[in-house]
Amino acid sequence: MILFLLIICGISLNFSQCDIIGEPRIRCAPTGITVTIETDSPFKGALFLRGSADKRSCKADFSAQPSQNISFEFGFDDCPSRRKRQIVAPRGMTMSSVLVVSYHGSIITHRDIAYQIDCFYREENSKVETMLAVNAPQPRILSDEPKLPTCDYRVEVTGGKASAGGVVTSSLSESSQVANVGDSVMHIWTCSGDAPSDVYCIQVYSCTAEDGGADTVKVVDENGCTTDGELLSPIKYKEGSMRAAASSHAFKFVDNHIVYFKCNIRITVKNPAGECPINNCSPGGSNGSVSRKTRSSNMFDHPFILFNRKSKIINQQPEIFAEYNILAR
C-alpha cells in the first residue's frame, strides 16, 4: 500500500499544473506550422504532432525549461501532414496536422488537449500589370550647311546666235575688250561650286547699265523681268543647271565708251517638286504686270550679291578689257 502511494505521488510530480489562456495561435508558413501557446503558469509538458512524437524535430519538450509563452515550428518536410487538394473554387491545398498539448510529456492523460490544424494554401491565377514608360532616344543633331555656289557674270561678244533656251550654242568670239554699237553680245550668269544644281536655283534680278557717273538705266527689274527688249532680251534659264543668259545689241551712253553692268543673283532652294520659280514677264520686256509662282517656304535669298561687269563700247578697232568686281553685304 505504501509502495503504490509512492508511485502515484511520483507520477503526479511530473504533471504540469497550468491552464491554457485562450486559443493557441498558429501561423501557416510556406515551409511549416508555427504554434504559440500562452499559459497561466510555466508549462513543463510537451507539444508534438500526432504520428510524429518519436521525432525530435516534431516534438517540443519544455520539462527542462518551463515557460508561460511557448512556441515551436513544425516543418512539413520533417513532420508529415495530411494533404488534401481542393479542385473546386477556391482551388488550393490543405495541410492538416493534429497538435497534442501533453501536460506530462510522455503519456496521454485526460488533461491533454488535441487541436486539428488546417493550413489552406490557395491557388490563384492573378493578372498583374505594370507600366514602363520608355522614351525614344534623343536624336543627336547632326547638321551641315554646304557652301553656297559661287557666281559669275560675263558679257561676251558672240560669233553666232543663242539657242531657244538662251544658251549660246555657237562659239564665243575671242577675248576682245571692245564691241561696236549694234554688235551681238551675250550676258551670261553662271553659278558653280560644290553646291548641287538639283537643290538650288538662281534668279537674276535688279540689273542696271551705268556709265560710271550719274547715268543709270535699269535693264532688269526686281522681279527678274527685262524692262526693255531693245536693251536686253528676256532672261532664259537652262533647266538642270544654275546658268542663265540673255542676248542684246551693244549700246553705250553719250560721250562715254564704258558701260558698267550690275546684277543681283538670288539663290533659292527648289520646291518639293524639284522645280524652280518661273518668271511670268510681259512680252517684249514692257513694264506690264508681273506674276510669279508662289515661292516655297524653304526658299531664301542669298545675302545681297552684286556683280559688276565693265564693258567698253566704241566704234573703232575691237580691243577689249573686262573687269569683275563682286561686292557683298
DSSP 22-59: S--EEEE-SSEEEEEEEEEEEE-SEEEETT-TT-GGGE
- H or E stretch including 186? strand 184-192
Can you give the pLDDT at residue 14?
A: 55
Between 295 and 285, the more confident residue is 285
pLDDT of 189 higher than 70: yes
pLDDT of 188 higher than 70: yes
- Write the pLDDT tens digit of every residue in 192-206: 877 666 788 889 999
Among 187, 182, 152, CA closest to 172: 187
Can you give the pLDDT at residue 79?
A: 85
- Of 56-60, 207-211, 308-312, 314-318, the poorest mean pLDDT is in 314-318
Letter string b/e over residues 105-128, b meaning 16 or more CB atoms within 10 A of that residue's CB: beeeeeeeeebebebeeeeeeeee
Pairwise CA distance, residues 7 & 118, whole Å? 39
- Write the pLDDT tens digit of every residue in 18-67: 889 989 999 999 889 999 999 999 999 999 988 888 888 889 899 899 99
pLDDT of 166 higher than 70: no
Tally of CA atoms within 13 A in the half-sphere of 289 that contains its CB: 1
- Beta-strand pair 305-313/178-179: parallel
Count of other CB atoms within 10 angstroms of residue 252: 19
Can you give the pLDDT at residue 145?
A: 78
Among 10, 105, 101, CA closest to 64: 105
Pairwise CA distance, residues 80 & 111, whole Å? 25
pLDDT of 126 higher than 50: yes
pTM over 0.75: no
Pairwise CA distance, residues 56 & 46, whole Å? 11
Can you give the pLDDT at residue 284?
A: 55
Can you give the pLDDT at residue 34?
A: 92
Pairwise CA distance, residues 64 & 235, whole Å? 120
Can you give the pLDDT at residue 6?
A: 29
Percent of the chain with pLDDT over 70: 74
Confidence of residue 255 (pLDDT cuts 50, 70, 90): confident
Confidence of residue 281 (pLDDT cuts 50, 70, 90): confident
Average pLDDT, the chain: 76
For the chain, domains (ranges, CATH) are 15-122 (2.60.40), 150-328 (2.60.40.4100)
Q: CA angle 72-77-81, nearest 5°?
A: 80
Pairwise CA distance, residues 295 & 276, whole Å? 9
- Write the pLDDT tens digit of every residue in 67-99: 999 998 988 888 878 889 988 888 899 999 999
